[in-house]
Each structure stands twice: as C-alpha cells, then as structure tokens.
C-alpha cells in the first residue's frame, strides 16, 4: 500500500495530500481534484463495466446455447430414429399376425421363410416364435432350440395380453448376448389369442441409431426405468451395469438439464423417453472443449476491461491533475492580485492614518518639547538659586523623556506603515521580535501576559526585509494575544534548522484552531473571528514569507493551543 501511494504520488502529485499540502491553502483544489476524478471515473467507467458484464452474460448464454443445442438436436434425432425403429418392427409384426392365419404361422416352414424375409428386409431379427394362449411356443424360427418352451408365468406374457404389444428391457437370457423382445398379440374370432414374439439384437441399435458423430467429451446410451444400462456407455459402464446418473423425471419431449458429478464437475444431460418402450435415451456432454473457448474469451474480456480501466484511469488522473494545476495557478494569480489590492488599500489607509497622527501629535509634542526646554533654561539661569530647583529639573526631565517616547512611537508607526520596496539588511531576529513586542507592551502589561524566549546558541543573524518581517511577526503575535486568556504565557523559540535556515516558533496555549479550518487558514478572506476579522492577516503573512523565500506552517489542537513556525533563509536569494 505504501509503495502504491509512492508511485501514485510521483505520477499524480495531487493524489497524495499530506498535511503540508493542506495547510498551504490548497484544500479546495484537493476537493476539486477528487470530485473531478470521482465524477469522471464514474461517467467513464460505469458504461464500460456495464457493457462488459452484459457482453459477459451474452457470451456465456451463447456458449451454453452452443453446448445445449447439439445435445438437444442429437437427442431428438436419436429419439425419432429409435421410435421409428421400434414402430417399424412392431408394425410389421402386427401386419403379419393380421395377414396370416394361425395355421400358416404354426407351419415351421412358412414361419422360417417369413423369418428369413424379415431378417433380410429389416435386419436385427434374431428369431421369431409363435406362442399360443397357454404360453407354449408352438413354432420357432431361429438358431436356438426353443420350440415347446412355456412363457405363461413370465411377466412379459401377461403384459402383452393387457397392452396388446410389448417391448422388453435388454437382457442376456438363454442366448447369452444382449437383446430385447418385441411381442404382439392377435385375438381370433373364437375368443382365443396367440402371440408373435421376435427377438431383436441390440447391436443394430448401437450401430445404426447410436452411431452419431459424438465429440470425445460426449456420450449417448439407453437406460431403462430402473437406471440399468441398455447399451454400452463411454463414461458409465457396460450393458446391464447400473448407471450412477439418477433417472430423470418423465417428459413427453426432449429435455436438457445441467448436472454435477461426484467431483463437482458440471455436464449437460439431454434425455428423452422412447414411446411404447422401457428405454430412456440419455446424452451426456462434458463442457471441457466449450469451456476452453469460453475461458479464453472470458480472459480476453477481463484483460480488455482491465487494460481499458487502467488507461482510462491514467487519462483521468493526468487530465484532472493538468486541469486542477492550471486552475490552481489561475487562483494563485488571482489571490496575489487581490493581496496586492487589499495590501495597497490597507497600507494607504495606514499611511493616511500615520500622516494624520504625525501631524496631530508631533506638532503638539514639538511645542511641549520646546516649552520644556525653555523652562529648563529658565530654571537653570546662572545665579538663579531658589528652593525646589532640583525638583523642577526632575519634572522637566520627565516631560522631555515622555515627549521622546511619544515621538519614537509615532516614527515607528510611520516606518512600519510606509509602503516601500524590499530592502535587504542584516537583522537580529531576537531584537526584531522584541521590537515588535514593543507595540504590544501596554496590552501585555495590562493583561499580565508573559513572553518566554528560548534562543539557541550561535543563532545567526539573517539578511531580509525588516519592515515586512515586522508585519509578519506582529500579525502572528497579535493572533496569539487574541487566542489566550489573561495571565498566560507565549513561548518564542529560535532554532537553527541548518546552515542556511533558521526557524522562529511562536506558541500559545489558547483555544486552538479546529482541524477543518487548518487547511483554509491561509486563504484570503477566511476568518474564524466572525465579524471581528477581515481574513487577510494570515493570507498576507503567508504571501510575505513566501516572497522572502521562507516557509510557514501551523500546528494546532482545539483546547491545547497553536504553534506558528516561520522558517527563513539566512540569506535572501
């Protein structure tokens, strides 16, 4: 995960937003970038994913149909052939018993000729026998000696009496090879009946009916209603073995089922009940051949989707990064223009105020200073010795010092407010901040706020613009004064970062700044002071520090306090 983030950060700088990024006033660009990426990704990827899944299911259905259709076609065709085969032989036997009299059929020579004709014309006949109403085989034509055999107690004899015709299961019997029996009954005018019984060799079914061109993964065979194989199967055993496929439910048409074997491998089962017989045609197709094609197509779909998503995401990330970068640059230029406008207006207002202060205060101060000087001269006229002279000189000195102090304050205000070009000079940061604190000395005294200095040994002086640094530290310290309670302490720490940079950290234990406001604290016109603030102080401060080649960051927790760290180059580039 860390490696992934590093890669993304190198490719897409706007993707990883660390704390430094947020406090630099770029939070709105982060939100814009995320919104652009999310919305564009949704609009671009959703149709692609939907269409891929639609195609996936369409292809899957097509492959399933491709597997099912041949099974259904072969099963239906085989069923028709098998039913025609049985119906044809059943019909010819019915025609014989209706066309020939019992006397003719009871003649061995005529029955033998009839059997030979059937065998040559239709094929598959093993023998032919005439059975009377007592179950005795009166006449027999075939390779075995079965004349006189009695079938009265066998189930097929009773079934043919009830149904009029009968097709038996496959059995080995006396002949010791797989065969089945077709028997038809004929009732004479006297109320009696006789049965014409023919034995059919199963090999003809295997050769002529179940010899369709099946794939190596397919199998077709017959079972009876008890699940016993009536023909040989590729996968499930030999004739008269019990098939491990459960006998499917009866249906008058060809049915297709999806089944699973004991190894949980799927296969397609097509089956059809053969009319007027105990046979059930079953065709099994294992989907290996089709599945290899399906897996290949599925892999191609997945590969196409993956490659498309990667390419689209790369384009979206790059496009969003490019768009937001240009928007950010435009916003920075706009903010700088607003800074300059507001700064100019502010400095112009302060300049006018300073000029008024200088005019209104310095002139009375000059008069007071001149009068104090005149009074000093009068008091100190030679040979003018009177009681209280020392006291008067002390009072005059106090007046002169107060005038000098007021003059210093007004000149400092004028120097701070005056808008001039950057002037680089050697600056002692500790002295500079103590000078800035002179503006707040009265408030600090009244509110009992103490200032604690922590100065690192060998702290170098720096080359920078004194007036602008005064404005930076005044804004930060003034914010700390507003955030703390009376009687609190402000810590000012001076550190050497490296041989090229020094840092000044101003810390308080005030109310702190909410986390949601930290990323916007340097934005123009953003303020947490409601109507008391303009939202330009820290924004201008950030611009000045950046202009001087430095960096500013803030750490804050609600209820625990705030620390502003200003890092400045030792030498302004």
Query: Which letter does DSSP use for residue 170 in this model?
Result: P
Q: Model confidence over 282-300: pLDDT tens digits?
A: 988 877 656 667 777 788 8
Beta-strand relationship, 137-141 and 165-167: unpaired
CA distance 572 to 422: 11
> pTM score, two decimals?
0.49
Q: Model confidence over 210-221: pLDDT tens digits?
A: 666 677 778 889
pLDDT given for residue 9 in this prediction: 53
Return phi, psi of residue 510, to 5°: -85, -155
Return phi, psi of residue 471, to 5°: -65, -40
pLDDT given for residue 21 in this prediction: 38
To the nearest whole number, what is the mean pLDDT of the chain? Answer: 81
CA distance 278 to 225: 6
pLDDT given for residue 524 in this prediction: 66
CA distance 48 to 526: 42
Of 188, 160, 8, the residue nearest 98 (C-alpha): 188
Q: Model confidence over 472-495: pLDDT tens digits?
A: 888 888 888 888 888 889 999 999
Return phi, psi of residue 439, to 5°: -65, -30
Q: Is 561 helix (H, G, I), strand (E, B) or coil?
A: strand
pLDDT given for residue 95 in this prediction: 92
Domains observed in the chain: 2-55+306-348 (no CATH), 100-206 (3.30.450.20), 213-286 (3.30.450.20), 423-573 (3.30.565.10)
pLDDT given for residue 4 in this prediction: 46
Question: Which residues touch 343 (CB under 8 Å, ≥6 apart)?
Answer: 540
CA distance 214 to 77: 13
pLDDT tops 90 at residue 190: no
Residues in the chain: 573
pLDDT tops 50 at residue 20: no
């Amino acid at each position: 995960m860390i490696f992934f983030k590093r890669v993304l950060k190198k490719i897409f700088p706007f993707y990883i937003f660390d704390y430094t990024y947020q406090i630099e006033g770029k939070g709105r660009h982060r939100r814009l970038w995320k919104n652009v990426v999310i919305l564009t990704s949704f609009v671009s990827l959703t149709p692609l994913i939907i269409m891929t899944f639609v195609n996936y299911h369409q292809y899957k259905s097509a492959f399933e149909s491709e597997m099912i259709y041949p099974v259904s076609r072969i099963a239906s065709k085989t069923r028709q052939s098998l039913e025609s085969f049985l119906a044809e032989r059943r019909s010819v036997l019915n025609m014989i018993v209706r066309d020939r009299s019992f006397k003719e059929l009871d003649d061995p020579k005529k029955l033998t000729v009839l059997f030979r004709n059937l065998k040559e014309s239709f094929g598959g006949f093993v023998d032919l026998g005439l059975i009377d109403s007592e179950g005795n085989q009166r006449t027999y034509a075939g390779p075995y000696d079965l004349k006189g055999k009695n079938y009265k107690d066998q189930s097929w004899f009773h079934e043919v009496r009830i149904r009029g015709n009968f097709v038996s299961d496959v059995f080995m019997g006396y002949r010791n090879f797989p065969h089945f029996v077709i028997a038809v009954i004929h009732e004479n005018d006297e109320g009696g009946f006789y049965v014409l019984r023919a034995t059919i060799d199963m090999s003809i079914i295997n050769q002529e009916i179940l010899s369709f061109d099946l794939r190596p993964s397919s199998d077709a065979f017959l079972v009876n209603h008890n699940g016993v194989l009536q023909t040989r199967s590729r996968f499930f055993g030999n004739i008269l073995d019990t098939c491990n496929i459960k006998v499917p439910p009866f249906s008058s048409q060809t049915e297709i089922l999806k089944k699973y074997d004991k190894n949980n491998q799927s296969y397609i089962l097509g089956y059809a009940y053969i009319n007027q017989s105990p046979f059930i045609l079953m065709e099994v197709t294992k989907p290996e051949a089709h599945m290899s094609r399906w897996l290949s197509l599925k892999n191609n779909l997945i590969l196409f989707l993956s490659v498309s998503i990667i390419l689209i995401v790369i384009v979206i990330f790059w496009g969003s990064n490019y768009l937001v970068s240009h928007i950010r640059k435009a916003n920075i230029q706009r903010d700088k223009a607003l800074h300059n406008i507001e700064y100019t207006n502010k400095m112009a207002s302060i300049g006018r105020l300073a000029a008024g202060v200088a005019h209104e205060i310095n002139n009375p101060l000059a008069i007071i200073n001149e009068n104090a000087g005149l009074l000093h001269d009068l008091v100190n006229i030679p040979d003018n010795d009177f009681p209280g002279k020392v006291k008067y000189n002390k009072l005059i000195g106090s007046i002169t010092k107060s005038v000098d102090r007021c003059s210093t304050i007004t000149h400092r205000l004028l120097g701070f407010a005056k808008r001039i070009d950057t002037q680089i000079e050697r600056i002692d940061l500790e002295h500079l901040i103590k000078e800035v604190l002179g503006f707040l000395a009265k408030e600090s005294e009244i509110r009992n706020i103490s200032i604690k200095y922590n100065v690192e040994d060998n702290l170098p002086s720096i080359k920078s613009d004194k007036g602008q640094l005064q404005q930076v530290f005044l804004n930060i310290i003034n914010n700390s004064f507003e955030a703390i309670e009376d009687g609190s302490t402000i810590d000012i720490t001076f550190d050497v970062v490296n041989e090229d940079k020094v840092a000044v950290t101003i810390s308080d234990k005030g109310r702190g700044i909410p986390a949601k406001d930290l990323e916007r604290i340097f934005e123009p016109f953003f303020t947490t002071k409601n109507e008391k603030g303009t939202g330009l102080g820290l924004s201008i401060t950030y611009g000045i520090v950046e202009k001087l080649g430095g960096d500013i960051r803030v750490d804050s927790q609600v209820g625990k306090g705030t620390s502003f760290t200003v890092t400045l180059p030792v030498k302004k580039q």
